[in-house]
Amino acid sequence: MKNQCGNRFSQQWCFLVLFFSFSIIVGAFDYKDALTKSLLYFESQRSGRLPYNQRVTWRDHSGITDGLEQGVDLVGGYYDAGDHVKFGLPMAFTVTMLSWGVIEYGKQIADAGELKHALEAIKWGTDYFIKAHTNPNVLWAEVGDGDTDHYCWQRPEDMTTSRQAYKIDENNPGSDLAGETAAAMAASSIVFKKSNPHYSHLLLHHAQQLFEFGDKYRGKYDTSIGVVKSYYPSVSGYMDELLWAALWLYKATDKVEYLKYIINNANGFGGIGWAITEFSWDVKYAGVQILVSKLLMEGKHKEYNDILEQYQAKAEHYLCACLNKNNGSNVDRSPGGLLYVRQWNNMQYVSSAAFLLSIYSDYLQNANKNLHCHGEIVESQELLVFAKSQVDYILGSNPMSTSYLVGFGDNYPKRVHHRGASIASYKGNKGFIGCTQGYDNWYGTKDPNPNILVGALVGGPDSQDEFRDERGNYMQTEACTYNTAPLVGIFAKFHQLQTQNLSSDEEFASLVSSY
């Protein structure tokens, strides 16, 4: 390491690298506590009949007749945010990201004692997807609708809103939804391959059928299901989800047919055409490009190197944009250093970017390679340092000195825009609360929520690092499952680094003096 440092860096730069390495390892935050809290959040979002080991005790059974009107069992799954609609597309993306986190950092999650809870969080989603996939070419896409749901402010246990269910099928296609659900089930099949092989095989079977369905009957799901347009429209279309699904199926099966799909459709589906600066429940291109880059770094399938390198070039566009090294086409940052994509729920883009930066850092390190940003060589450690800066901002290292992970630290949002959290717990107050009663008695108050939505990552501050902790300020104070999902693996990664050998100022000083 000493010779490497001397050969490749100026002495000053070498010291900075060591300093930031040290800051990563001994950081100021308790990442294990953040990991534990992040997994608790998914229990708050459960729909259906809650299990005996439910740890979030202010919640109770809800949505236990979902699907009854349509003659199908759609009990279970997750509410996406502060309302009570079960939206299929963001739910599937949440499960994909939880699964990816376990695939990359399962050992670290296990070392922190949280693997059981991570697997439970994934399985709560996949159990629902199995129910919702009632036929090879039928997938139930949504339960409830945003318009009637948003008219009410009541606990999920008291729901009086419509629980109509909506599906995609051969006549009403939804390749984006089918693709993302296939990706979630393929990724989760990898997670359960050793611990529960029968379940893993079942998930893979559903994933393959859903991919075939989505690919054969192409169309956007929000065209088939109009009620979703105002809430989760698929702006990016379905091509990114089909590439995403094929890639996860290749990882799950090692079947070359899925790889060929990614290669043959690279240009037509935008995989090597779209240079994207966000990764989200809607836009999957950066995730596809980064996973394909790993195949290239591993030296697999060299006959496809030309296409794989084009995917990697787009992956590096995204990463360099996050690092502000992209010759102008960069992701904006707040004065406090937070990545800033858009006003509404910006933190979703921050957590997903931190995850991609972290895993790409690992890929580079394992392959002994560097990132190239317009002629500038960026080492793997710099990606990890920047990912940590975003995670630490979330946890409280920001101009507001606020933790945007609810329940973490001393200063966090107390008035999260969330129906269940903002109203007296059903277990403590079983009296029925009507549709608008919540608005009358709880929504408009300045009192803190009676129930803490532990582990929720709220929408976060504006472009100037300003944040208003008000229940009605839903752009900033509402949390979503796909905000927190990418953080699970990262918290475990940083906890591992925090507990490695460099654990004191004395050790760091000793290391620096050796250079």
- From residue 466, give the alpha-carbon distance in Å to each of 195, 198, 335, 400, 462: 45, 49, 10, 7, 5
Measured N-to-C along each axis, helices 347-367 and 285-297 cross at an angle, to the nearest 10 degrees, of 10
Residue 84's identity, in one-letter code, is H
Tokens encoding 349: 């883009």
Cβ burial of 52 (10 Å; 0-12, 13-18, 19+) is exposed
Map tokens 């591993």 to a residue: 298
Question: If we measure between CA atoms, which residue out of 231, 220, 222, 442 comes closest to residue 345?
Answer: 231
Query: How many Å apart are CA 298 and CA 433, to the nearest integer?
Result: 57
Tokens encoding 365: 């390190």
Is 417 in the active site?
yes
Tokens encoding 508: 């760091």
Q: Which residues contact 431 (CB under 8 A, 6 or more apart)?
A: none
Residue 41's identity, in one-letter code, is Y
Tokens encoding 500: 């490695």
Q: One of 133, 206, 317, 417 is an active-site residue; which one? A: 417
DSSP-based three-state secondary structure for 368? coil
Q: How many other β-carbons are positioned within 10 Å of the β-carbon of residue 400?
A: 16
Q: Which residues contact 465 (CB under 8 A, 6 or more apart)?
A: 334, 335, 336, 338, 398, 399, 400
DSSP-based three-state secondary structure for 62? strand
- 333, β-bridge pairs: 339
Give kind and range of the element (H or E) at residue 87. Answer: strand 86-87
Chain length of the chain: 515
Three-state SS annotation for 134-184 = CECCEEEEEECCHHHHCCCCCCHHHCCCCCCEEEECCCCCCHHHHHHHHHH
Active site residues per annotation: 417
